Structure 1
Amino acid sequence: MITIYDIAEKAGVSAMTVSRVINNTGRISEETRKRVRKVMEELHYIPNALARSLVSQKTNLLSLLITDITNPFYTTLARGAEDAAKKAGYRLLFANSDEDYVKEKDYVDMILSTRVDGVLFAPAGDRSLENLQQLQKHQIPFVVLDREIPGIDADVVLGDSKEGARNLVEHLFALGHQRIALVNGSLDVSTARLRYTGYSEALRLNSLTVDDSLVIHLGFRDFHDDSALDELLALEDPPTAIFAANNMLALGVIQSLRKRGLQVPGDISVVCFDDFGPAGAINPFLTVAAQPAYQFGQLGMQLLIDRIEGNASNESRRIMLPSELIIRSSTQSISTPVS
C-alpha cells in the first residue's frame, strides 16, 4: 500500500509537506504542490478519507435516507440531492427504509458509525421521531424531506399535500363525480393525513360529507392489496372515481381494476398524487398532482449544506413546494357513455 512516506521520498519533500498538500493546509509553493500531486497520480495514491476526517472532523460524506427506492418520486428526488451534493464537493450515500421503522433505525445506526457530515431524511412516519432524536443526540445535522414529524424542530422541505389533494377531487367534481373513493396511506404519515384533509375539504366545499365506506387506509407500499378494491366495488353504490394518495397506490388500483375487466376511465376514473417521472413520459395516462421531485432533493441538500457549513441561523427553515394538476386520459365525465 502506498503511503505519504513513499510520496515524500519520490517527490523529495517531507511527509508533513505531503500531508499539507493532501489536506490543502499550510503555506506551500505552487511548484511544490504540483510536484507532490504529480507523484500522487503516478503512484495512484488515494488519500485515506477516515484518517483525514479524524483530523479535520469532516468527511464530506452525506447520507440520503428515503422510504421507497422503487417510487419514481424518490428516485428523481435522489437525483436532485446528488447533483447538489456533487456541485458543493460532497459525496452522497443512499439508504432505503422501505417504509419500515426497524430498517430505518438500522440505517440511522449505520449513519452514526459512518461519521457522515449530515443527513437528508425522508421519514417512514411519526414513529421516526426516535430515529431523528438519535441524530440530534449525536449532533448530526439533518433536513427532513416530504413528511413532517411532530416533536421535531428542523429544516424541512414539503409538498402542499392538502392543496394538491383538493385540486384532484375538485377536478373529479367538475366531471360530475360525487362517489369518489380515497385509497390512502397510513394516517401515521403526515402526507396521508394532509391528503385526507384535502379530500375531505373538497367534499365539504361541494356540500358532501365523507362516506367512511369510500375511504381505505393502507401503507403507501401496499399497492398489491386487492382486498381494498374488493371492498369498494362490492358497495351497493360503488364509486365512480378513485383518488389514489400516491403513484404506487394508483398503479396497484389500475392493475386490480384491469384484472377484474374494468377499464380506466371507461368504467371508473382514477387520479393520483405524484407523477411517474421520466418513465411516465413514454405513455402519459394518469391525471396527477405532480410534485417537483428534483427540487425536493436539490433544495433539501442546499439547506443541509448551509446548516453544515454554518451558513444558516438557529431558526428552522420550512419550504413548501406547490403541486401541479396535470389532466390526462385517466378521467372522464360521468355523463360520458361507458364504452
Structure 2
Amino acid sequence: MPLVCERHQFSLPHSGLLVVASRYYLNSNVYNEGGVTLVLAHCSSGHKEQWVPTLTKLLDLCLRSPSLQPQWRVREAWALDAPNHGDSATLNKAALLGHKPLSIQHYADMLEFFVKSDFVKGHRVVAIGHSASTSAWTLACAANSPPPLCALILVEPVMLPPPVTERDLKKGDTNSSTVLARQEVWDDHKSLREWMLKRYPWKIWDVRVFELYLKHGFIEVIDGSTGKTSVTTKCRKAQEVGFYYADDHIVAGKATSITCARYPVHALFSERPEMVSLGARKAICDASEGRLMASISVISKCGHLAVQENPEGLAQAIYDILLSSCEKDLKGGMCLVPAARL
C-alpha cells in the first residue's frame, strides 16, 4: 500500500533557519489516532527521503500484524531535513553561505523544537535516529525540559561515552578530512550517477535508497559568469563536516545515562562493525555506567549505513521493538527483544 506524503515547513525560533519535514501515512481507511507517531532523523550527508523504503516496509508490517495492539501501531511518521541538509539546505542557502558549520547541538535543538511543536502535540512519539542524529536525539532528550517520548530508537549510535580516547578524537578529524576531499560538483546527473555507482558506499546501497538520494540529495546550479549548468549536493561539504566534530558526540556520550533513565532506549547495531567498533558498542551500552538499554539488536546484511543498505531489515528490527513494547504493556515485564551479542 503506497505512502501518502505531505510536505511541511517551519522556522526555528532562535536562528530563523527553515526546516522541511515530510509527514507520511498509509493511504488506507485505517487511521489509528491512538497509535505511535515516528519522528525520524537522518545521518550526516543524508536527507529525509532516505527513510521511505524503511517506512514503507514498516507500515506494511504494522498493518498486517495480528499481534500489534492499536497503541503500538504506527499512526504516522515524520522525517525531517536538518537545517543544512536536503530541502532545508536549499531554503537556507543564503543564510548558510559563509556561516560556520552547524553542529550536532544545532541538530538537537531542531529535533527538540519539533517534538514539542503543534505538529505532534498530543501524539505518542517514538523518536528514531541514525548515526549522527543519534547524538542529536540524545542531547535533545537530556535537556533540562525533556520532550515527551514513548521511546527512543538509536540506529548505529555514535556518541562517545567516557573514557574518550585519542583514537576517538582522530576518527572525527579523519571523517572531516575525507568529506572535504570529496568531489562536490558534476557536469550533469548522468556523470553523477556513473561516478557514484563506481564508489563505496553508494555502489552497495539498496537501489531504492540510491535513486532517492540521486533525486533528493542534489540540485542543479547555474554559474552566473558562464551560464553553465552543473549538479552539486544540497548539503555542501563545508556544512556537513560540522556533524563529525567530536565535541558534541562526547557531550552526548556523557548524557546517554540521563536519556536511558528517562526513556526506554533501544540500540540497533549493524552486522558489520564499521563506524562503531565492537568495543564502542559495549561502551555505549554499558549498564554499569547507567547506559541501560531497553533492548539491543543487530541488523543483518549491512554496515554502518543500515538505512541505505538494508531498509527492510531495519524495518523488521523497528517493528520487533514496537511489538516487544506492546507485549511489555500486556505482560508488565521487561522489553522482550532478545539482547544481541556485541
**What band does the TM-score fall into relative to the shorter chain?**
0.3 to 0.5
Please give the TM-score of this superposition, normalised by the length of structure 1.
Answer: 0.37
Please give the TM-score of this superposition, normalised by the length of structure 2.
Answer: 0.37
Q: Which of the pair has more CA radius of gyration?
A: 1
